[in-house]
Structure 1
Amino acid sequence: MKKLESTRLKRSRSVNLRIGYAAAIFLVTMAFNWTSERPDFNNPIEDEIAPAELKIIRTYQRQEKAMPPAPEPAKTIFNKNIIETDKPNLLSDKIKTENPAPPLDSGVFIIKPPIVNMENLRPAQPKEENPIFKVVENMPLFAGCGDDNMSKDEKKKCSDRAMLSYLYKNIRYPAIARENGVEGMVVIRFVVEKEGNISGLKIVRDIGAGCGEEALRVVKNMPDWIPGKQRGRPVRVQYNLPVKFKLN
């Protein structure tokens, strides 16, 4: 019987020990779980409240500039030693002269210089007595085309034909120009005077090889023209004559 009780006691002791160990482990585990929980500082309660808007009102205190002190009135100093003298005579507006101007009724007159207009003093540009015209009412005509029975256009056509005929008969193609194949236009400028004679001959355009000189020679030997007229009077007229050199 004693042995059975002892065995029971041993068994119950071992069971109690196991239960105790299990309870101890459970309490220790609960203790660790309780202390391991940390508060969450990332989401504080204060974040749920909207922050109040702070308005700062600045106040300025106007500083009045201090006015400078008023200057002290000047003190009048009386000098007892100053002796008062007579006041000087003031000059009057009228100046007295030894020989005053005589009145107007005494026979003396005041003569003022005349006002000179500067424009009248400019030298007048001398008018050209024999101006040279480029275009006139009646242009110069070659000799033999001044028939009164012809119209103005007929006279011009007659003059052009007569001048070309004269040039074809008298111009000689320079040998140097023929040998070198020189062709082109030569322009001779001259003036038909009031009497119809030719003056002021000049080669305006040249192609070389003696062509300009040959055209100038022929124009210089032309017969007198019928002078041009402006308002019924003979005038000097400038003329440009083109002469074309061309090889066949």
Structure 2
Amino acid sequence: MKAKKTPKADLEKKRGLFLEIGLILALGICLAAFEWPSREVETQTLGNLTNSEEIVEEMIITRETPPPPPKPEIKEPEPVVLELKVVDNKKDVKKIDWNSELKDRNPPIIIISDGPDVPDEKTEPVNWVDVKTKPQFPGGDAALLRFVVDNTKYPEIPKEANIDGKVYVQFIIDEKGKVTNPSIIKGVDPYLDAEALRVVSLIPDWSPGMQRDKPVPVIFILPINFVLK
């Protein structure tokens, strides 16, 4: 009877052969590793930075110039001294306190000259608030208001056009108490302005204003209010 060989028995015989082959392969791999060429890594330097090459962060500071302050508004003083409403001639007119109405108001002096300047010996007109003794209309303030209302006629053209408003008339009460140099300092309509000038030119003489016991010309402003009803 023949004995059977198992595959395990054949492997045991070849064990030495396998060991030799493994040692040879390991030795070959080690030699190949030592002989393998390596690349040289080139290093590059940035060089030396001089002061001129240094990177400096620049900060820009802007200074905002403040805006100029707004110009103050110059308001002209309102020359309101007395208000006359031309509405009904039969109504009673109350007495007006001229000193309180003219307090702290300095109306402008209007001087018109057509020729060269020449010395003028006449006394310059004085503002109403500056004169010591005020000019007086005969019969007082109520009489003045009544005179203006009674003598003022509403012009037909502005009446038909429904035009009304307040006309400011400036005039001077001279040393003799006469009303002189009437002029419109603020008008509304040519017809209303002309009527206001016409009425002022009819005003009778006043007792003149006095300053240091001497008569002086005094500036007076009379607003006449034309009202349609």
TM-score, normalising length: structure 1: 0.48
Q: Which of 119, 126, 131 is 1:133 aligned to?
A: 126
Q: CA deviation at 1:20?
A: 6.7
Q: CA deviation at 1:167?
A: 0.8
Q: Give yes or no for contact 1:177–1:209 (8 Å, CA) kept in 2.
A: no
Match for residue 139 of structure 2? 144
SS of equivalent to 1:132: coil
Runs of 4+, deviation exceeding 6 Å: none
Match for residue 25 of structure 1? 21
Alignment of 1:115-126 (within 5 A): none
Q: Which of 143, 150, 164 is 1:183 aligned to?
A: 164
Alignment of 1:151-170 (within 5 A): 160-170=141-151
Percent identity (aligned): 31
Q: Deviations over 1:190-228 (max 9, x none)?
A: 100001011111122222251111111111111101111
Q: Give yes or no for contact 1:140–1:227 (8 Å, CA) kept in 2.
A: yes
1:197 equivalent to 2:178? Answer yes
Q: CA deviation at 1:138?
A: 1.7
Alpha-carbon distance in structure 1 between the residues aligned to 2:191 and 2:14:
150
Select the structure with the greater relative contact order (CA < 8 A; seq sep ≥ 6).
2
- For structure 2, the residue ranges without an aligned partner over 5 or more in a row are 1-9, 39-117
Root-mean-square deviation (Å):
3.1
Q: CA deviation at 1:19?
A: 6.8
Q: Give yes or no for contact 1:228–1:234 (8 Å, CA) kept in 2.
A: yes
Q: Deviations over 1:30-68 (max 9, x none)?
A: 4224324559xx9xxxxxxxxxxxxxxxxxxxxxxxxxx
Figure out how many residues of one structure are paired with residues of the other and give that number. Answer: 136
Alpha-carbon distance in structure 2 between the residues aligned to 1:218 and 1:19:
151
